[in-house]
Amino acid sequence: MMELKCIVVDDEPLALGLIESYVKKTPFLNLVGSYSSAVEASSVLSTNPPDLMFLDIQMPEMNGLEFSKLVGDKTKVIFTTAFGQYALDGFKVNALDYLLKPISYTDFLQAANKALNWFKMTSGHSSEATTNKAEEEEQKSIFVKTDYKLVQIELDKILYVEGMKDYVKIHLEDQQFPILSLMSMKALEGALPASRFMRVHRSYIVQSSKIKEVERNRIVFGKTYIPVSDSYKDVFQEFIDKRMLSNQ
């Protein structure tokens, strides 16, 4: 199994200890250092850069966003923070993922697996990379639990997903009522192909190919208007701009 060397940087002792414990029980992660500030962690970047860094954003002296700009190409970053407003800034500095505190091991493992897949795709594991790509291309459906049973949902039929606290509503084409499932938006987002589905709001994920109309920064599905929040506005606008026909 491929192993990733990683470090944890967080000025809160409890948060630092929690992420350390998660790393230690994840088979493909090897903890090589823990630091309570970006200044402390900076020395390791030049001498022995890790593959992966779990980095808090709100820290004294130098915050995580500033520190991430000093990190070389060999080290990928997963941000950890209690403040959701930093999500878009995190992705602007090419972070692999963004974990919002309090962090569960399920969310942590999902982010770690994303990092593992990224390194496999870029480190010469050609056969594994080909297999992963083929699996993504072949994914036609997902299974979700609803009413004490598993239901297979064809991806092509999903219009959008609506988050309802502990539940999600999966709205399908040609189906009057959505499928209700006890799961988080984060978990479902991770299961859906990123090439086809995009988060536009804390409570909404849409299938980009199903977007037919946008009105006043809202996506229109029949009589339903889905807002695009400020956190995702730039990403959504970039999606629109790439497909916009010029009048000139």
What is the biggest distance separating any 2 CA atoms in the chain, rounded to whole angstroms? 59
Global confidence as pTM? 0.51
Rounded Cα distance, 54 and 52, in Å: 7
Rounded Cα distance, 136 and 93, in Å: 25
**Structure-model confidence comparison of residues 178 and 138, the more confident one:** 178
Q: Which of 108, 132, 107 is nearest to 119 (CA)?
A: 132
214 pLDDT above the threshold of 90: yes
The one-character DSSP state at 48 is S
- Confidence band of 135 (pLDDT split at 50, 70, 90): very low
133 pLDDT above the threshold of 80: no
The one-character DSSP state at 199 is E
Q: Give the bridge partners for 177, in sequence order.
A: none
Worst-scoring range by mean pLDDT, 29-43, 189-203, 232-246?
A: 232-246
- Residue 127: what pLDDT? 44
Alpha helices in the chain (DSSP H): 13-24, 38-47, 64-68, 87-92, 105-122, 126-138, 185-191, 230-243
The residues, any chain, with a CB within 8 Å of residue 22's CB and separated by 6 or more, are 103, 105, 108, 109
183 pLDDT above the threshold of 80: yes
E strand or H helix at 164: strand 158-164
Worst-scoring range by mean pLDDT, 72-81, 97-106, 108-117, 127-136?
A: 127-136
- β-pairing, 204-207 with 224-227? unpaired
- Residue 88: what pLDDT? 45
**Structure-model confidence comparison of residues 52 and 68, the more confident one:** 52
- Residue 126: what pLDDT? 42
- Confidence band of 211 (pLDDT split at 50, 70, 90): very high
